[in-house]
Amino acid sequence: MQIRLQELATKPGYHAQFDYTIDLSKEEVGFEFPFQQPVRVEGEVSDDAGAITLSATIYAHVTTRCARCGKPVEYDKETDVEFRLVKELESDDADRDDLYLVESEAVELDDILIPELILDMEMAVVCDEDCKGLCPKCGQNLNHGSCGCVTREVDPRLAVLQKFLDNKK
């Protein structure tokens, strides 16, 4: 959906609701393609005495992998977006994050909403708070049991000695 601020400005009390889906299956986030299912956006654009407000909720089903063990993880997320769309910023508006500057004649709603969804993505999702992850040595999934590797941190000074001893073997 396209928003034309110029046009909206001439329609006092304008109010439009939207509810549609976007295909973001090709959108890469952190080396993953988390949006295997269409992302739904629902909200409204409205004029309140010349102030154009965009408020929306983005509903996404996220398919990703556990940051520790790599197991597939899926979950639903909701991202709320609320902006006042403005044609220009006043000097004291610089650090207001509730304003969205529309520099051209029209702005595509997706161009406002999609970056907000990406920004809201969780950085490191885990399959379980207690996920033990993979053994850094042999790669075994430690949730399925211990592999027996010794992975304790070796003191760097002792590491030199360890290397010496290993070479002796």
The CA-based angle 125-127-129, given to 5 degrees, is: 85
Residue 138 contacts Zn ion per CB under 5 A: yes
Q: What are phi and psi of 91, to 5 degrees?
A: -60, -30
Stretch in the footprint of Zn ion (CB under 5 A) among 30-38, 53-61, 91-99, 137-145: 137-145
Q: Which stretch binds Zn ion (CB under 5 A): 1-9, 44-52, 66-74, 159-167?
A: 66-74
Residue 131 binds Zn ion, judged by CB under 5 A: yes
Going from the C-alpha of 95 to that of each of 24, 99, 103, the distances in angstroms are 30, 9, 17
68 touching Zn ion, by CB under 5 A = yes
Cβ atoms of 168 and 104 within 8 Å: the answer is: no
Tell me the C-alpha distance between 38 and 34, whole Å.
11
Task: Tell me, residue by residue from 79 to 118, as one string, x for binding to Zn ion by CB under 5 A and - for no binding.
Answer: ----------------------------------------
Q: What residue ranges bind Zn ion (CB under 5 A)?
A: 66, 68-69, 71, 127, 131, 135, 137-138, 140, 147, 149
